[in-house]
Amino acid sequence: MPRRWDIFCTVIDNFGDIGVCWRLSRQLSHEYGQTVRLWVNDLQRFARLEPTVKTNVSYQTIQGIEVCFWSNDIAVFEQIEPAEVVIEAFACQLPENYLRKMQQNDSTVWINLEYLSAEPWVKHYHAIPSPHPSSGLVKTCFFPGFVAGTGGLIREKNYPSQQDAFQRQAFLQRLDIPTNCPDSIYISLFCYDQAPLDSLIKHLAESTVPILLIVPDGKIAQRITQLLNYSHYEVGLQMQLQRLTIFIIPFLDQTDYDRLLCSCDINFVRGEDSFVRAQYAANSFIWNIYPQTDQAHWQKLDAFLDLYTLTMPSDMKNSVQQLWYYWNGRGEIDGKVLLHFFSLTESFKKYNKTWFEQLSKQQHLTSNLVQFVENQL
Ligand code: TRH
């Protein structure tokens, strides 16, 4: 049943909020024929991962989705009729006057799309309706997750076949990355400022295996350039340190970023969305979790490790845990740890394929959302 959806997204920092909302919007529209209006407060950020976004217009249609700039001027919402389904992404606050209009139609389905976590409590809190204190409307928290009983993960219907069909060699050549280095390890790098970048670069440079490190344009790429004492920074720059070759590539659109994850042997990913996509790419991955001031991220990290490594041989499990802890700021490693992780690359690929198959068995988030809405209306 085609419904009208309003998705509200505030970009707090980084790319994850709009990254998730954009994937959701596209899947709702393209695979479920839903009419989607996406409200986003930062078009510049959005344009980084979707270059067709115009940053100087308030309304535009992209790939069949109405994209609206959500400014501070709430008078705009006086003219707006709320949709049948309202998604408030990551507990962003709806405009007051929009909320008042929602009260006039008590069949509106109002959902707060939460952050992803592998913690066991998630399935107990998923999809529990609660009355909103001031409006009296019912709001439901939708928790994405990795197991049955949660909201699931965003996964396009044709994701595996899409990836099978793509041409790795042509893709890497398009990015000016050499493809004739069969003995080299291809690594992509996307991480937070807190990650021990200096030490990683040092270990990679000392590796006995040649390494091609691919870094999308951004703060991390700039820091590496400084670290290696290069006098200028630009996209396309290639740097050499012992057996390590570093390529600064453009910040890619989401589809190409997915391809990059499929093209590399090892992916350093972060946050939420790139972390999930690395799992779909099924190559080795190292997660830099979004750091929280109360250290709550450690619980989240451990919860995911428990689930992900459940059936992993102990050698691989220890290697993942040691490396992920180090990468998130707990403990140092010596070069041998990294080399050992590299030596397990093929085993990780095999294990991660099974992990992906397991994830694919659960209903995906968009399908769960559509089903939930149909049950309400
Ligand atoms: O950017 P992030 O750090 O986002 C984070 C997390 O979502 C976190 O949970 C949230 O609290 C915080 O934002 C505010 O990392 P994440 O989630 O991986 O999102 C990055 C997005 O950017 C993802 O959709 C992939 C996309 N991307 C590209 O499209 N091209 C690129 O070149 C790169 C490096 C990323």
Average pLDDT over residues 232-236: 96
Residue 134 pLDDT > 90:
no
Would you state the pLDDT for residue 361?
Answer: 94
Per-residue pLDDT tens for 163-184?
Answer: 888 899 999 999 999 998 889 9
Would you state the pLDDT for residue 377?
Answer: 81
Looking at the structure, tell me whether residues 169 and 60 fall in a common domain.
no
305 alpha carbon, distance to own chain's centre: 17
CB 282 less than 6 A from any atom of ligand 1: no
Q: How far is the CA of 151 from the centre of ligand 1 (A)?
A: 20
pLDDT-based confidence at residue 68 (cuts at 50, 70, 90): very high
Would you state the pLDDT for residue 209?
Answer: 92
Looking at the structure, tell me whether residues 61 and 167 fall in a common domain.
no
Would you state the pLDDT for residue 312?
Answer: 97
Q: How far is the CA of 216 from the centre of ligand 1 (A)?
A: 12
Per-residue pLDDT tens for 2-36?
Answer: 999 999 999 988 999 999 999 999 999 999 999 99
Rounded to 10 degrees, what is the CA torsion of 312, 214, 46, 29? Answer: -50
C-alpha to C-alpha distance for 375 and 134, rounded to whole angstroms: 25
Looking at the structure, tell me whether residues 198 and 125 fall in a common domain.
no
CB 144 less than 6 A from any atom of ligand 1: no
User: Average per-residue pLDDT in the chain?
Assistant: 95
C-alpha to C-alpha distance for 12 and 91, rounded to whole angstroms: 11
Looking at the structure, tell me whether residues 210 and 298 fall in a common domain.
yes
Would you state the pLDDT for residue 279?
Answer: 97
Looking at the structure, tell me whether residues 195 and 250 fall in a common domain.
yes
CB 254 less than 6 A from any atom of ligand 1: yes
Query: For residue 160, with 0-12 CB atoms within 10 Å meaning exposed, 13-18 middle and 19 or more buried, which class applies?
Result: middle
Looking at the structure, tell me whether residues 264 and 279 fall in a common domain.
yes
Task: Please name the amino acid found at residue 95.
Answer: P
Residue 160 pLDDT > 90:
no
Lowest pLDDT segment from 12-16, 133-137, 299-303 = 133-137
Looking at the structure, tell me whether residues 201 and 348 fall in a common domain.
yes
Task: Write out the two tokens for 93.
Answer: 């606050």
Q: How far is the CA of 53 from the centre of ligand 1 (A)?
A: 17
C-alpha to C-alpha distance for 225 and 239, rounded to whole angstroms: 8
Per-residue pLDDT tens for 338-349?
Answer: 999 999 999 999
Ligand 1 pocket mutation pick from 154, 171, 273 by most atoms within 8 angstroms of CB: 273
DSSP 196: -
Full residue range of the structural domain in which residue 116 is found: 4-153+363-376
Question: Has 272 been annotated as catalytic?
Answer: yes
Residue 233 pLDDT > 80:
yes
Would you state the pLDDT for residue 163?
Answer: 80
Tell me the residue length of the chain: 377
Ligand 1 pocket mutation pick from 11, 12, 15, 24 by most atoms within 8 angstroms of CB: 15
Looking at the structure, tell me whether residues 169 and 87 fall in a common domain.
no
Would you state the pLDDT for residue 282?
Answer: 95
Looking at the structure, tell me whether residues 370 and 340 fall in a common domain.
no
Looking at the structure, tell me whether residues 135 and 9 fall in a common domain.
yes
Average pLDDT over residues 265-293: 96
- Global pTM reads 0.96
CB-based contact 69:77 (threshold 8 Å): no
Would you state the pLDDT for residue 278?
Answer: 97
Looking at the structure, tell me whether residues 286 and 149 fall in a common domain.
no
CB-based contact 319:340 (threshold 8 Å): yes
CB-based contact 209:243 (threshold 8 Å): yes
Residues above pLDDT 70, as percent of the chain: 100
**CATH number reported for the structural domain that contains residue 269 in this entry:** 3.40.50
For residue 6, CA distances in Å to 35, 39, 81 come to 9, 7, 10
DSSP 283: S
Residue 58 pLDDT > 80:
yes
Looking at the structure, tell me whether residues 148 and 169 fall in a common domain.
no
Residue 159 pLDDT > 90:
no
Lowest pLDDT segment from 107-111, 133-137, 186-190, 223-227 = 133-137
Residue 106 pLDDT > 80:
no
List, as own/partner pairs, every contact residues 287-294 make where C-beta atoms lie below 8 angstroms and the sequence separation is at least 24, other chains included: 287/324, 287/327, 287/328, 288/190, 288/191, 288/192, 288/194, 288/195, 288/327, 288/328, 289/328, 290/14, 290/16, 290/192, 291/192, 291/194, 291/328, 291/329
CB 19 less than 6 A from any atom of ligand 1: yes
Per-residue pLDDT tens for 345-367?
Answer: 999 999 999 999 999 999 999 99
Residue 334 pLDDT > 80:
yes
Ligand 1, atom nearest to 19 Cα: 24
Q: How many domains does the chain have?
A: 2
